[in-house]
Amino acid sequence: MTEEEIDDVFGCFEGECQGCDCFGRVNDLGLCKDCAGKLERDLIRQRDWDYSATAYGVPSSKREELRNQVVAQYGEKLELLAPENDKKKGKSRKGKKRKRSGKSR
């Protein structure tokens, strides 16, 4: 996705980001640009190709390459999604972490 395409997607919605609780422009998933990028990379890391807009239309032979690029650039650690083995059993609460904006980016 190019920057222009991203700008195209964003700007239609305003709301609170599901990822970082910032209020501002969010996409149809309720994520700000920052978090949408993180999610995108997490999906690629986990090989959830079907959900990744970046991987869409990329032949499966090229997807590993795409993943390698993401890992090389951003590391292997998930940025937004919780890793599979880190799931807590609490099911009633939807994981909305309270985060005070102590640490600025």
Backbone torsions φ then ψ of 101, nearest 5 degrees: -80, 60
Give the binding range for Zn ion (CB under 5 A) out of 14-22, 41-49, 75-83, 86-94.
Answer: 14-22
Residue-wise DSSP of the chain = --HHHHHHHTTSEEEE-TTT--EEEE-TTS--HHHHHHHHHHHHHTT-GGG-TTTTT--HHHHHHHHHHHHHHH-SS-SSSPPGGG--S--SS-------TTS--
Does the protein bind Zn ion through residue 19 (CB under 5 A)? yes
Position 20 contacts Zn ion (CB under 5 A): yes
How far is residue 43's CA from residue 2's CA, in Å, rounded to a whole number? 18
Binder to Zn ion among 17, 44, 55, 80 (CB under 5 A)? 17
Interface map 34-63 toward Zn ion (x if CB under 5 A): xx----------------------------
- State the number of binding residues for Zn ion (CB under 5 A): 6
Minimum Å distance from CB 51 to Zn ion?
A: 17
24/54 with CB nearer Zn ion: 24
Give the footprint of Zn ion on this chain (CB under 5 A): 17, 19-20, 32, 34-35
